[in-house]
Copies of this chain bind each other. A is one copy, B any other.
């Protein structure tokens, strides 16, 4: 069912420092920051040859990243995102297997403009898992 690893998302406490680090220290291709007010994040994509790293920084007063950074002041891996062909079929299969889908269970349009769902980290080895229909 799951396909490619679309991205690994890393919450960062200092976006400019993280951009400089990935660009200069790690020598990666780093994109421009993109504000995503609907998701409460500023996002920076790091393009690797086979996948992406997504740096997440809080935007606005009710960012989902703020609480994560309070618990993890140095930052940390926030979620991993797997691609699926059909998100409703994937959701129904997961629910039938006993996995928990966060929120209402209805896909939302994610930061990439595509339907996404998040799965409960307690069901997946402490990892927040995003599924994105591609």
Contacts and interface: CB of A to CB of B under 8 A. Distances in A.
Interface of A: 1-5, 8, 10-13, 18, 21, 24-28, 48-51, 53, 55, 72, 74-77, 80, 82, 93-94, 97-99, 121-127
Given A25-B97, A82-B26, A97-B25, A75 B2 contact: no
Task: Give the number of copies in the complex.
Answer: 2
A48 B50 CA distance: 11
- Say what secondary structure dominates the interface of chain A: loop
Nearest to A96: B25
Given A1-B26, A1-B28, A125 B50 contact: no
Contact of A126 (B76, B121, B126): B76
